[in-house]
Structure 1
């Protein structure tokens, strides 16, 4: 059972009053609404009508609502059980644009359904792919997810759009007040007001935008003219399939899955104060929910769905991660498809307000990714994995024109810093694993300075293995204490052999020597008086420390050969 971190107001399994759950769910829907623009971009790319755009947005919202609920489930392998909402996935944008321009919306829907089906299959393999996702890779993905929000967040924050390249003072004022309100409530508020920091900030932003004219007459008229209640338009254009688009959509769904792995890893970490490593079976359930929502979206006429990194950042910022909020947000999204007037409020969100919300949540994602990277020891290989992934990933944002002429079949990999950075980290991780030995032997000679040898060995191998710093420190202390005790008690005068085996979830050390066995019976530490008067007190102190460092200790001896096994959970 995960241990609830102290910074959470509402943890994963906490129950909430219904009004609180609905307000927090509404807050998440406001953040999710930033992705509603992607279907509009796809329809406009081939000259589609406003009705086609409205249909695709509506169906995407419906699929997102269902996907959000599926993700919060944890039954029969479906869902991760976390608050990790589903939205229109930016990883699908490049491939969807190519499909729309090639064969219209029917091809977009058919290829999206195929991508969802592929992700469902991929989810069943997740528990066998732990080797692909060490902490440095998942940390890079989470960090780049936050970085990928910046190109969308900053232009909106500054009030810049394709038809408006000038930042007005009023736009900057609204953005600054909106962001400042969110930050002030998060940092200085008392009680549960922190839960609603984004909702309060967005509300103030809307009011200021209306008062300053940024939210103008056409936008307000759109809200007023929209019917309060209506059935969704079901004029579906059908489905089609093109073998030539198989590679772009496969790349898109893999990028989307890797982003979701990062999001779900973050959810695990923020909900467990004793988090150690990604739970790949749980992530597999989350990817299954992700693929199912993408499959549903393609079937009913929406855009490919993926977990929302911004909403994960929101849950960190507000300290509310209860999955009840996911059910509330999912229901609200489904209801939006029947209430056009309410949906239009999200569609006309002013750019400065949207930008402020995205800046707020991106900060949490970036820092959380860096924390995942630094949760493990680093050596030169892992430094290259992380450093090169950031360098080549960010080159997309720094030199975008350089990648525009690439073939469409590989365009998805070079469509964003997230896609290229993730691909770089995965490939380098596999390359740099070549030559890494999971089993090592250390020989220690009595009468030599074995302490330096022990500490140097574990520090070097800890970085090579990417082990947790705390586990390596306990292991080197336990081995040093044990060898010191063997030498001090004159248990042997021959070389002491330590066989070390590292796995992702364990570190095992097998120490062998020829001589007298040690008494390593567990017990309490000797008193100060015992240390002064009892000759066996130092041996008992050593045994106590070894048991304190290691998670389990076993010892036996046969024909003069003594064997001590130390096990450490990792």
Structure 2
């Protein structure tokens, strides 16, 4: 009698490989979703420094290059860096306030910003092993609260896009709302009546339809496309040697700590979605990639990098949890960094198109957080208070950014980030109510607050 063969071990969701066409299309969705955020930071800093348009375009291409490299490392893992999960990387908004202030300070400028970015990245690599231990302070109660706050804090971004964006001549105009609504309706109908491949690329289909309609309505601006070169290589130290000054370096080091707090929350959120337990070792790999990307970024004419929260919503929305999808997206970013015309076309996507997709995906992030909160003892009044206060703190800088305007400037990188505020609040209150109260033991395992 022939012996029965043991079945092959199941492939984890993050290690699955999709068919080539599906891989490319789902990867393109990730690129389209994060592209606006990726180009916004170099655009803002370039304008603040007073660079001409062609030099700002160079800054954008430099950011795409580093984002592509960092995304590949984060997704695939190289040496001790990379969390090996579906993570998209790009320039972090946490540093924008500090960098705009540096840009307006005589004697600092771009070279001072790049020097501070390099030094802060090196500082981040030194502290990553210690910061990775804070994962032990993220039981289900804290994790669920943070993930819910991430989703809620992203809603204003989606609504701003849906209304036409900051540059809209008539914010909330019927044409913008109609396009956003059409994109959202397309995504919903595909998820209702179709399955498999079509659901996986539902966001791309909705955005493509929205782009076509926007073009017909005259909402797509391709001005300047002809002047963009076909091919351009990003060269290091394009603006000169970095300058290392103490005050900018200290400011950017604080930014890196805040990025670590944000990234920790996002990695844990992604771990819940992909069924991967985020251990201190795994978190250390992710934080090393964050800080390593920032270190390299300063040499390649760009800024501090971190994982992008909006792409977590896309992972949840499509159900495609493979890290090879984001690795492919990283390759697309590298190609775009060499082809300014192609990058220009992607940048021409109207905000209203992104808004329709964002409403669905960011809501999925919040829904994931609510689901995780069900694992905690949410009937406990103290835990209810923790959730209420932390979500409120997370929404404060989103609803009224000026509420913290009178606080010291060094706190801007904390108070301007809803994710950082919610995370710090949830962790602190959990320590106060549960750890010091003796109802929860801090260990290497994630667990809900004890009943």
Tell me if both proteins adopt one fold, taking TM over 0.5 as the criterion: yes
Aligned partner of 2:246 in structure 1 is: 243
Aligned partner of 1:288 in structure 2 is: 288
3-state SS, counterpart of residue 129 of structure 1:
helix
3-state SS, counterpart of residue 237 of structure 1:
coil
Shift of 1:22: 1.8
Deviations 1:436-493 (A, max 9, x none): 33xxxxxxxxxxxxxxxxxxxxxxxxxx328xxxxxxxxxxxxxxxxxxxxxxxxxxx
| 2:119 counterpart (114, 121, 141) | 114
Q: Is the 8 A contact 1:290 1:305 kept in 2?
A: yes
When residues 189 and 16 of structure 1 are mapped into structure 2, their CA distance, relative to the original with a 3 A threshold, is: same
| 1:230 counterpart (222, 229, 232) | 232
Deviations 1:292-351 (A, max 9, x none): 112111221112111111112111111111121122111111111111111001222211
1:101 is aligned to 2:104: yes
Aligned partner of 2:5 in structure 1 is: none
Larger Rg over CA atoms: 1
Unaligned 5+ segments in structure 1 are: 6-10, 438-463, 467-501, 508-570
Deviations 1:156-177 (A, max 9, x none): 1011425634322112111111
Deviations 1:122-163 (A, max 9, x none): 321245334433333333332222223223221210114256
Q: Is the 8 A contact 1:248 1:408 kept in 2?
A: no
3-state SS, counterpart of residue 15 of structure 2:
coil
3-state SS, counterpart of residue 306 of structure 1:
strand
| 2:43 counterpart (40, 44, 60) | 40
Aligned mates of 1:118, 1:3 — CA distance in 2: 39
Aligned positions, number: 435
Aligned mates of 2:423, 2:181 — CA distance in 1: 32
Q: Is the 8 A contact 1:42 1:100 kept in 2?
A: yes
Q: Is the 8 A contact 1:141 1:259 kept in 2?
A: no
Deviations 1:389-444 (A, max 9, x none): 1122222233333222322111111113223222222333333356433xxxxxxx
Deviations 1:350-408 (A, max 9, x none): 11012222222211111112223332224344333322111222222333332223221
Deviations 1:15-50 (A, max 9, x none): 222222222211211111021112111221243322
Aligned mates of 1:152, 1:382 — CA distance in 2: 28
Q: Is the 8 A contact 1:2 1:271 kept in 2?
A: no
When residues 3 and 384 of structure 1 are mapped into structure 2, their CA distance, relative to the original with a 3 A threshold, is: farther
Alignment of 1:123-142 (within 5 A): 123-142=128-147
Aligned mates of 1:300, 1:506 — CA distance in 2: 38
TM-score (norm 2): 0.89
Aligned partner of 1:432 in structure 2 is: 433
Alignment of 1:446-525 (within 5 A): 464-465=439-440, 505=445
Q: Is the 8 A contact 1:106 1:240 kept in 2?
A: yes
Q: Is the 8 A contact 1:186 1:317 kept in 2?
A: no
Aligned partner of 2:74 in structure 1 is: 71
Deviations 1:275-302 (A, max 9, x none): 6x53222121111112111211122111
Aligned mates of 2:69, 2:103 — CA distance in 1: 24
When residues 374 and 92 of structure 1 are mapped into structure 2, their CA distance, relative to the original with a 3 A threshold, is: farther
Q: Which one has a larger percent helix, Structure 1 or Structure 2?
A: 2
TM-score (norm 1): 0.71
Alignment of 1:405-444 (within 5 A): 405-433=406-434, 435-437=436-438
Range moving further from structure 2, 177-186 or 27-36 = 177-186
Q: Is the 8 A contact 2:162 2:172 kept in 1?
A: no
When residues 245 and 133 of structure 1 are mapped into structure 2, their CA distance, relative to the original with a 3 A threshold, is: farther
1:213 is aligned to 2:188: no
| 1:23 counterpart (14, 22, 25) | 25
Aligned mates of 1:238, 1:179 — CA distance in 2: 46
Aligned partner of 2:14 in structure 1 is: 12
When residues 126 and 161 of structure 1 are mapped into structure 2, their CA distance, relative to the original with a 3 A threshold, is: closer
When residues 225 and 503 of structure 1 are mapped into structure 2, their CA distance, relative to the original with a 3 A threshold, is: closer
Q: Is the 8 A contact 1:247 1:409 kept in 2?
A: no
Aligned partner of 1:84 in structure 2 is: 87
Shift of 1:4: 7.2
Aligned mates of 1:104, 1:370 — CA distance in 2: 44
| 1:192 counterpart (190, 197, 207) | 197
Aligned partner of 1:60 in structure 2 is: 63
Range moving further from structure 2, 33-42 or 241-250 = 241-250
Aligned mates of 1:163, 1:214 — CA distance in 2: 10
When residues 398 and 126 of structure 1 are mapped into structure 2, their CA distance, relative to the original with a 3 A threshold, is: closer
Shift of 1:84: 0.6
What is the RMSD of the two structures over their aligned residues, measured on CA atoms?
2.5
Aligned mates of 2:415, 2:89 — CA distance in 1: 23
When residues 434 and 363 of structure 1 are mapped into structure 2, their CA distance, relative to the original with a 3 A threshold, is: closer
Q: Is the 8 A contact 2:72 2:327 kept in 1?
A: yes
Shift of 1:506: 9.7
